[in-house]
Structure 1
Amino acid sequence: MPSSSQIGHGLAKALGIKLEEPETERVTRGESIFSIQTADSFFEEQPTVKEVISALIPTRRGIWNYILSLFPFVSWIGFYNVQWLIGDLVAGITIGAVVVPQGMAYAKLAELPVQFGLYSSFVGVIIYWFFATSKDITIGPVAVLSTVTGTVVDNAITAHPEYKDVPWVIASALAVICGAIVLFIGLIRFGWIVELIPVVSLAAFMTGSAINIAAGQVPGLLGIKGFSTRDSTYLVIINTLKGLPRTNLNAAIGLTALFLLYLIRFACSWAAKKNPSRFTHAAVPTINVDIISTFVSEIPATVIVLLIEHIAISKSFGRVNNYRINPSQEMVAIGVTNVIGPFLGGYPATGSFSRTAIKSKAGVKTPFAGVITGIIVLLAIYALTAVFFYIPNAALAAVIIHAVGDLITSPNTVYTFWRVSPLEPIIFFIGVIVTIFTTIEIGIYTTIVISFAIFIVRNLKAKGAFLGRVQVHSVVGDHVTGHDNRPASEYGTFKPDSGHNASSRSVFLPIDHQDGSNPGIELANPYPGIFIYRFSELLNYPSVSHTMEYLVETVFARTRPTTLNAYKRRGDRPWNDPGPKKNEEENTNLPTLKAIILDFSAVNNIDVTSTQMLIDIRNQLDRYAAPDVVDWAHGMH
């Protein structure tokens, strides 16, 4: 019976694949395969198909570890103690008091009866702790996602008026579909996908959404009617200003509620600084083609909002409280919540910034605090349902406006963006303006597309740096470390050509100081004709052309061909190398090319395009230096 190797060779021969072929027999389509100068040979055993497949198939241990990773509470529940319980009780009760009014208010944004906000709040906090990798996050209805849901419900009712009396059917179906998508992303551990959304896009999205939501609630706060608050933000603001003469008694209720909310917040913040120590509609969702067709175009925006708001908030509070979250596992938590939630009357829910901040400040110890909050919400659903009818819309509008104020990016944060990268504030303001004049969804897409376009351009235009050497001293206090232990002042100005001693070491920096290094540092250039070139970005197909062109152009500008006057007649020269002008001679003062050292310290992966480009450039420079030999070296330092 033939071996697998024999079968592989036979198949390769049948397909015309030459596994081993002398260099001289190679026929190419114009690309270089081997360098002119033969390098040292290195033979490596080729991986077999069996080895590749075996590496892809999970082991029993791997499967068990994956199952355990889906339920992080297993790793800490056995250590639960009374001190943790006290902290969770305080935080859970506190959030319970906050989530009830906020949940009802956000349900109005989603164009649903207020009780559905409580259903979503209850399901989110009860389920989340099973899958949580964040102790601070609170899942439930949020302003931005509720606004997106409200838009979906409005559009669906316009297209299918039969759902006018049961708008929660649309909201529940949206939650199940989007939750299933997010759950799938989490289960296959693709949580890294959220890293494609930059911070500036998130900031613009949150700020534009906050302005959009607040503007839409002002008419309800003042009792102004007669126009749609679902129009573009700028139209809502204009119509609100036109309608100011039509304000009524609702304005007194709404403005008073808003003033009291800010007064209570100010008082609590002041007290915290002075004393920093703490102290019905359950049913199977209806999902069919008709319902899905009403919001299929809104699914991407809804999924993005589900992801970026929750992951960004949980990562932020993880950094503040010194723990790390698992984005993929958080997606599992969001997905399960939104898939199960609609069976108990819930609509799309995700992490809440304001409630998470309160929960963190209240001293939460573990994710189990969500169970306490769930009990509070459950009591509100069964004991206070009759009272909900008497809550004025103006008061709910005040709650929403007060809550979304925290989402607006502060001027100091925008200034920080500008100091780090001047382009980032431009993207931020474009995102906010687009959101105000169009919709939240278009604002999200705009900032993501612009950020991605800038990333591509930067990658395409990336180039390396030519390095020079300088020796640096290690200083402890006012003494240079070493054998002599002399004060640093006795060393004076250090020159790059001074001798090496025990207290110094060589450092290679870009000669043009474009990396932000001190331009006053005098760098020692390598020996004439020798170049040290560091790749500053990933060496892949978008960036390799620009990077290597910069290398070749600089080498040509600083050296001369080894063989001068290689062409007897001017017409023998190639069109792209016409040489000096008539009656001028070649510049013989420049050195010839001796060696090129490539620094791959910033490169962790290369592709076929970059490999081919490296081969082509090596052949080009080898011909340029012929008959001399160019020494090539590479590595990391």
Structure 2
Amino acid sequence: MSNRVTDEMDIVSVSSSRRNSESLPHVHKVGIPPKQNLLKEIAGTVKETFFADDPLRHFKDQPRSRKFVLGFQAVFPIFEWGRHYSLSKFKGDLIAGLTIASLCIPQDIGYAKLANLPPQYGLYSSFVPPLIYAFMGSSRDIAIGPVAVVSLLLGSLIQNEIDPTKNPADYLRLTFTATFFAGITQVTLGFLRLGFLIDFLSHAAIVGFMGGAAVTIALQQLKGLLGIKKFTKKTDIVSVMRSVFKAAHHGVSGYHLTFEILLVLWHQTVSNLANLNGYFVLQWNWQTILIGMSFLAFLLVAKYIGKKKKKLFWVPAIAPLISVILSTFFVYITRADKHGVQIVKHIRRGINPASVDQICFSGVYLAKGFRIGVLAGMIALTEAVAIGRTFASMKDYQLDGNKEMVALGTMNIVGSMTSCYVATGSFSRSAVNYMAGCHTAVSNIVMSGVVLLTLELITPLFKYTPNAILASIIISAVVSLIDIEAAILIWKIDKFDFVACMGAFFGVVFCSVEIGLLIAVSISFAKILLQVTRPRTAILGKLPRTTVYRNILQYPDAAKVPGILIVRVDSAIYFSNSNYIKERILRWLVDETERLKENSQPRIQYLIVEMSPVTDIDTSGIHAMEELLRSLDKRDIKLVLANPGPVVVDKLHASKFDEMIGEDRIFLTVEDAVRTCAPKMDLEP
């Protein structure tokens, strides 16, 4: 290995040897790649990490005026694809925009209540942010607005700091402050090209977190669905159910809900339906329950129809608006609000007022707003990017993740200054947008226009809308977040992923949204650490009538080579796992030696380490290999390496480990190593 070559995997032929009168074919040894300049190597690593997509490739060899145009289009993609916009595309976008507007208006009012905000703030958040995104976003299908999970997260976190009923002004200020910092977080991640950080939250953790959040959101809606006036501020299932049953009978303590009490509730309910309101002591309202349950059934049936027949996607899309219209009309003509049915009441008319002066840039709320905003921004970003990537893959176009982050962050920064709270991509609305035949982000502009008309003209009509309808709409919307099929698939594929999924789920349901998120992140990082510190290794055997060597556990036909132990390391060798890899290889060796001794078979004379999966090795890894070499020398066993990559070869050469092991013990393939070692072995037991 003393001669340097220019090619990465240049081969050098060696003389052939004979065994049992059969000539061996040429055996190839691994060459050393040319030494790279340190600065170029660092620059290459940085570029691959942060600029893998080469964002400046379009600017090369362009005149200054053209660079300005390309830069402007990079920031505002609408001016790029807008040049090719046509009437046929507008028809599809118009239909899609009107459809998602009919879905978003009732949802926005409900999500605002979920965030403990007046209903108009939900509508505000579906007016300004979609306009900003339409100009800056790169996704054609994503529909922007408030979403249930982020609304719940904001509501629960800010509620822990300020009581929204006792101090609504400060609650609103902290909401706008958190929204501002959520946008700053998203823009920073996109501008610094740190989008890969959100990938640390695994798919399994997201499935569990979303499912737990859906259950929590649905439980929170029991207040509106049952007409309960006094309700817990906590989000865990124990506190919520205690509050629900305590409201059902004010004399029953949440700690003493026995089977006998449930039987009494059932008996009195069946025997005295006409006097339900008297039994529930004005805590549960039977008119509210009737309205809520009836329309919830209607919404779920509509969702089922849309799922079964894709052409009827518009049925679940307009069902919420139909529910609002019918229930509002019913309450108005019957004056059910006089009989305990809680209604929305007044929604402020007009477009978004400015809120720049309400953002806290100093004082006690600054740190709280920053902390809540970073968390909400990351969750909103994760959801939006996941949705965008899903629909981009379905339509086969590329989505620039960093541009998405800048667009989402900018719209939330502007939104915080125009009375909006955190907005992001909504899966339910994006799915409807996609199925309605949208072509571009113009559908968001159409939706925003409809919301503007609603704010200017229609908001007084929502006065008699019952809260039970909003609760039903939210419950029907979050049902799709509970992905049981995905959880089952996770269980089948990876049990550790399933633990992460269930940890996040139960953390949200039994503790809180932030605890569930913390559990999800912790388990995801624990999995990464476990995989890094405890990589897989395998013993290889030769498949009959081939030169291929595979894991003997996966391929029972693979046979071990007498006198040779072949081990594969399935990971880079770093300080975090180098000792484990060395000790694991030695354990393989000890176990195999004992087995051979018991069966009176020839002892092991060569240990071949298959290193093709080893993408890198550091100083600790080199030291571990040196210790392994010394341990093998004491056992009179020779160490052989097969197929190390260029990075590994370069570092082995720099550390002079190749001289320690011997230049004739590093081979291109396992087969080459075996063919060379086999003639030299003394196969006597």
Q: What TM-score do you get using the length of structure 2 for normalisation?
A: 0.70
Check the 8 A contact 1:467/1:509 in 2, yes or no. yes
Name which of 343, 348, 356 aligns with 2:417.
Answer: 343
Q: Alpha carbons of 1:633 and 1:304: their partners in 2 closer, same or farther (altered >3 Å)?
A: same
**Residues 172-183 of structure 1: matches in 2 within 5 Å?**
172-183=176-187
- Give the corresponding residue for 2:300: 262
Deviation of the 1:178 alpha carbon: 1.5
Check the 8 A contact 2:158/2:372 in 1, yes or no. no
2:157 equivalent to 1:152? yes
Whole-Å separation in 1 of the counterparts to 2:584 and 2:110: 59
Q: Alpha carbons of 1:62 and 1:449: their partners in 2 closer, same or farther (altered >3 Å)?
A: same
- Give the corresponding residue for 2:23: none
Whole-Å separation in 2 of the counterparts to 1:195 and 1:625: 47
Name which of 560, 568, 580 aligns with 1:525.
Answer: 560
C-alpha offsets along residues 402-460 of structure 1, whole Å, 9 cap, x if unaligned? 211111122x3222111112333333233222212211110011122123213322332
Deviation of the 1:202 alpha carbon: 0.6
- Give the corresponding residue for 1:213: 217
- Give the corresponding residue for 2:514: 441
Supply the AA of the counterpart residue of 1:168: L
- Give the corresponding residue for 1:591: 603
- Give percent identity, aligned residues only: 28
Check the 8 A contact 1:205/1:431 in 2, yes or no. yes
Whole-Å separation in 2 of the counterparts to 1:52 and 1:316: 33
Q: Alpha carbons of 1:546 and 1:450: their partners in 2 closer, same or farther (altered >3 Å)?
A: same
Check the 8 A contact 1:152/1:295 in 2, yes or no. no
Check the 8 A contact 2:186/2:378 in 1, yes or no. no
Supply the AA of the counterpart residue of 1:151: S
C-alpha offsets along residues 11-47 of structure 1, whole Å, 9 cap, x if unaligned? xxxxxxxxxxxxxxxxxxxxxxxxxxxx999695562
Supply the AA of the counterpart residue of 1:606: I
Three-state SS of the structure 1 residue aligned to 2:550 is strand
2:288 equivalent to 1:250? yes
Whole-Å separation in 1 of the counterparts to 2:46 and 2:490: 42
- Give the corresponding residue for 1:544: 578
- Give the corresponding residue for 1:27: none
Supply the AA of the counterpart residue of 2:124: Y
Deviation of the 1:375 alpha carbon: 1.1
Name the Cα RMSD after superposition: 3.6
Three-state SS of the structure 2 residue aligned to 1:226 is coil
- Give the corresponding residue for 1:421: 494
Supply the AA of the counterpart residue of 1:354: S
Three-state SS of the structure 1 residue aligned to 2:548 is strand
2:540 equivalent to 1:467? yes
Supply the AA of the counterpart residue of 1:609: S
Name which of 486, 510, 514 aligns with 2:551.
Answer: 510
- Give the corresponding residue for 1:168: 172
Whole-Å separation in 2 of the counterparts to 1:612 and 1:417: 38
Check the 8 A contact 1:134/1:367 in 2, yes or no. yes
Deviates more, 1:116-125 or 1:543-552: 543-552
- Give the corresponding residue for 1:240: 244
Q: Alpha carbons of 1:108 and 1:461: their partners in 2 closer, same or farther (altered >3 Å)?
A: same
Structure with more relative contact order (C-alpha pairs < 8 Å, separation 6 or more): 2
Whole-Å separation in 2 of the counterparts to 1:135 and 1:44: 45
Three-state SS of the structure 1 residue aligned to 2:126 is helix
Supply the AA of the counterpart residue of 2:37: P
Whole-Å separation in 1 of the counterparts to 2:493 and 2:625: 33
Name which of 311, 317, 342 aligns with 2:385.
Answer: 311
- Give the corresponding residue for 1:328: 402
Check the 8 A contact 1:168/1:347 in 2, yes or no. no
Whole-Å separation in 2 of the counterparts to 1:395 and 1:275: 21
Whole-Å separation in 1 of the counterparts to 2:538 and 2:111: 53
Q: Alpha carbons of 1:616 and 1:421: their partners in 2 closer, same or farther (altered >3 Å)?
A: same
Q: Alpha carbons of 1:282 and 1:384: their partners in 2 closer, same or farther (altered >3 Å)?
A: farther
Q: Alpha carbons of 1:296 and 1:45: their partners in 2 closer, same or farther (altered >3 Å)?
A: closer
- Give the corresponding residue for 1:633: 666
- Give the corresponding residue for 2:24: none
Whole-Å separation in 1 of the counterparts to 2:219 and 2:450: 31
Deviation of the 1:610 alpha carbon: 1.6
Whole-Å separation in 2 of the counterparts to 1:314 and 1:112: 28
Q: Alpha carbons of 1:55 and 1:397: their partners in 2 closer, same or farther (altered >3 Å)?
A: closer
Q: Alpha carbons of 1:223 and 1:60: their partners in 2 closer, same or farther (altered >3 Å)?
A: closer
Q: Paired residues, what number?
A: 533
Deviation of the 1:206 alpha carbon: 0.7
Whole-Å separation in 2 of the counterparts to 1:365 and 1:507: 50
Q: Alpha carbons of 1:624 and 1:295: their partners in 2 closer, same or farther (altered >3 Å)?
A: same
Which segments of 5 or more consecutive residues in structure 2 lack a partner in the other structure?
A: 1-28, 61-69, 249-279, 319-351, 640-660, 671-685
Whole-Å separation in 1 of the counterparts to 2:388 and 2:669: 36
- Give the corresponding residue for 1:127: 132
Q: Alpha carbons of 1:239 and 1:56: their partners in 2 closer, same or farther (altered >3 Å)?
A: closer
Whole-Å separation in 1 of the counterparts to 2:46 and 2:533: 33
2:193 equivalent to 1:189? yes
Check the 8 A contact 1:600/1:634 in 2, yes or no. no
Check the 8 A contact 1:558/1:590 in 2, yes or no. no
Supply the AA of the counterpart residue of 1:142: V
Whole-Å separation in 2 of the counterparts to 1:228 and 1:445: 23
Q: What TM-score do you get using the length of structure 1 for normalisation?
A: 0.75
Which segments of 5 or more consecutive residues in structure 1 lack a partner in the other structure?
A: 1-38, 471-495, 499-504, 561-584
Deviates more, 1:257-266 or 1:388-397: 257-266
Whole-Å separation in 2 of the counterparts to 1:41 and 1:321: 44
Whole-Å separation in 2 of the counterparts to 1:90 and 1:64: 37
Three-state SS of the structure 1 residue aligned to 2:609 is strand
C-alpha offsets along residues 490-541 of structure 1, whole Å, 9 cap, x if unaligned? xxxxxx2x5xxxxxx532211232xxx4x3xx22433x33343322123322
Three-state SS of the structure 2 residue aligned to 1:243 is helix
Check the 8 A contact 1:123/1:374 in 2, yes or no. yes
- Give the corresponding residue for 1:230: 234
Deviation of the 1:127 alpha carbon: 1.4
- Give the corresponding residue for 1:581: none
Whole-Å separation in 1 of the counterparts to 2:638 and 2:668: 26
Q: Alpha carbons of 1:330 and 1:550: their partners in 2 closer, same or farther (altered >3 Å)?
A: same
Q: In proportion to residue count, which structure has more helix?
A: 2
Deviation of the 1:88 alpha carbon: 1.3
Deviation of the 1:50 alpha carbon: 8.7
Three-state SS of the structure 1 residue aligned to 2:665 is strand
Whole-Å separation in 1 of the counterparts to 2:56 and 2:387: 33
**Residues 97-108 of structure 1: matches in 2 within 5 Å?**
97-108=102-113
Q: Alpha carbons of 1:238 and 1:636: their partners in 2 closer, same or farther (altered >3 Å)?
A: farther
**Residues 326-405 of structure 1: matches in 2 within 5 Å?**
326-405=400-479
